[in-house]
Amino acid sequence: MNTSATQTLGTNAKDLRTAAALLGAGALVAFPTETVYGLGADARNAQAVAAIYAAKGRPSFNPLIVHVSDVEQAKRYVQWSDTADGLARAFWPGALTLVLPLKDGHGLSALVTAGLDTLAIRVPSHPTAIALLHAADCPVAAPSANPSGRISPTSAAHVLDGLSGKIAAVLDDGPCTVGLESTIVGLTPAPILLRAGGVSAEDLETALGHSLGHPPGHPLGAPQSANITAPGQLASHYAPAAHVRLNARAARGDEVLLGFGDIAGDLTLSATGDLIEAAAHLFEHLHALDKTGRPIAVAPIPDTGLGLAINDRLTRAAAPR
Ligand code: TXA
Ligand code: MG
């Protein structure tokens, strides 16, 4: 992990170029959005996305929101729809995130979506966020720029309080105006409110011309959405179809082996035992092994650093279903 000093950058053209170059090199850059400061990484770079989870100290892999500069960019990654278009016209750029089916050939790291086949995407309205997205010319995955379990940062000082020394840079452009995360609407395909946030449900319903569904278990849970999954559940939803056996030193019978460190498998998470590299490969390798149709054995992964999040996911994958 990067433990050198975190640079504080301003918003002049030179500093934006520096921030963009850092993102391009796979480093982490915190940046302001109208909602909260985000911890950004190139969403196509699995190692960089894994480093987000390491810097935040997240004990599990939650799918992340990808930030793009406009609707045309969004259409490169997700299957667009008339409803998406209507909501984007009404609320983008702004504090609304849309969850849509991933498009073939999207090129994003599977760690961004935690292996799901949908993507959360938004166009922020903050001019510095947009300037950075243009300069970096890549989709930027960004959760809130705070350590796991701490409150979301609405200033560069908050970001540095939690992440100084763990990220390459923070772009300081003062306090966030909304100060609350984006509203998340699932469109797969019926509109459903997955997280309340900066855009009100009333304004969404006005734009849609009808009421929104709510996930089951939600206080406003609507019966018509009974078979749609809430984000917390969705976040833990991807699991291989195959049977998964953990802490395996070798494959047995028909199994394919997912290796780590000294234990070389059919696919190996990291031959050198690097947990960030292992996290970067986790979902891609699980998907690939699952396609063989054979049971999957997984080598032991240490319970330190990103190993906690990897083991959390593997334990869920191995749980009886
Ligand atoms: O305002 C915001 O949305 C901020 C700024 C930085 O843009 N970002 C943010 O990201 O709040 P984060 O990682 O803290 O929250 C992402 C949320 C999680 O609750 C996650 O479960 C949900 O988005 N999410 C991401 N991808 C999803 C998907 N494919 N399906 C359902 N929920 C998803
Ligand atoms: Mg957060």
pLDDT digits (tens, 9 = 90+) for 267-280: 999 999 999 999 99
Domain shared by 177 and 306, yes or no: no
Last residue of a domain, one of 185, 208, 231: 208
Domain shared by 162 and 287, yes or no: no
pLDDT in tens, 174-201: 999 999 999 999 998 999 999 999 999 9
From 39, 64, 96, 113, mutation site for ligand 1 pocket: most ligand atoms within 8 A of C-beta: 64
Confidence (pLDDT) at 3: 52
Residue whose C-alpha is closest to residue 183's, from 49, 70, 69, 65: 65
Q: Report if residue 95 sits inside a domain.
A: yes
Cis peptide leading into residue 219 (ω within 30°): no
pLDDT in tens, 278-314: 999 999 999 999 999 999 999 999 999 999 999 988 9
Domain shared by 183 and 244, yes or no: no
Q: Whose CA is nearest to atom 12 of ligand 1?
A: 143
Confidence (pLDDT) at 47: 98
Last residue of a domain, one of 158, 185, 208: 208
Q: Report if residue 141 sits inside a domain.
A: yes
Domain shared by 98 and 202, yes or no: yes
Confidence (pLDDT) at 1: 47
Q: Report if residue 218 sits inside a domain.
A: no
Dihedrals φ, ψ of 65, to 5°? -90, 135
Tokens of 103: 């498009």
Domain shared by 88 and 183, yes or no: yes
CA of 153 to the centre of ligand 2 (A): 9
Confidence (pLDDT) at 164: 98
Domain shared by 17 and 82, yes or no: yes
pLDDT in tens, 26-70: 999 999 999 999 999 999 999 999 999 999 998 889 899 999 999
Confidence (pLDDT) at 197: 93
4 pLDDT higher than 90: no
CA of 172 to the centre of ligand 2 (A): 19
Domain shared by 144 and 18, yes or no: yes
Last residue of a domain, one of 159, 185, 208: 208
Q: Find the domain containing 133 and state its range.
A: 7-208
Q: Report if residue 25 sits inside a domain.
A: yes
CA of 229 to the centre of ligand 1 (A): 15
Q: Rounded to two decimals, what is the model's pTM? A: 0.91
H helix or E strand, kind and range, residue 193: strand 191-195
Domain shared by 188 and 312, yes or no: no
Query: Mean pLDDT lowest for which of 20-29, 121-130, 154-163, 234-243?
Result: 234-243
The answer to whether the beta carbons of residues 138 and 24 sit under 8 Å apart is yes
Confidence (pLDDT) at 217: 59
pLDDT in tens, 105-138: 999 999 999 999 999 999 999 999 999 999 999 9
Tokens of 214: 């709510």
Ligand nearest to the CA of 180: 1
As a whole number, mean pLDDT of residues 228-235 equals 42
Q: Report if residue 233 sits inside a domain.
A: no
Domain shared by 270 and 199, yes or no: no
Protein residues whose CB sits closer than 6 Å to any atom of ligand 1 = 33, 35-36, 38, 62-65, 97, 99, 113, 116, 118-120, 142-144, 181-182, 184, 194-195, 231, 234-235
Q: How many angstroms separate the CA atoms of 31 and 167, rounded? A: 11
Confidence (pLDDT) at 2: 45
Q: Report if residue 148 sits inside a domain.
A: yes
Confidence (pLDDT) at 236: 42
From 184, 225, 228, mutation site for ligand 1 pocket: most ligand atoms within 8 A of C-beta: 184
Q: Report if residue 229 sits inside a domain.
A: no
Q: Report if residue 76 sits inside a domain.
A: yes
What total of structural domains would you count in the chain? 2
8 pLDDT higher than 70: yes
For residue 122, the ligand 1 atom closest to its alpha carbon is 7
Domain shared by 188 and 301, yes or no: no
Residue 213 pLDDT class (50, 70, 90 cuts): confident
CATH number at residue 78: 3.90.870.10
Contacts of 71 (CB under 8 A, 6+ apart): 85, 88, 92, 123
Domain shared by 27 and 169, yes or no: yes
227 pLDDT higher than 50: no
Averaged confidence pLDDT in the chain = 91
Q: Which residue has the higher pLDDT, 321 or 63?
A: 63
Q: How many angstroms separate the CA atoms of 87 and 183, rounded? A: 12
Q: Whose CA is nearest to atom 5 of ligand 1?
A: 38
CA of 38 to the centre of ligand 2 (A): 9
Q: Whose CA is nearest to atom 9 of ligand 1?
A: 143
Residue 228 pLDDT class (50, 70, 90 cuts): very low
Domain shared by 76 and 24, yes or no: yes
CA of 96 to the centre of ligand 2 (A): 15
pLDDT in tens, 92-102: 999 999 999 99
As a whole number, mean pLDDT of residues 241-256 equals 96
As a whole number, mean pLDDT of residues 2-29 equals 94
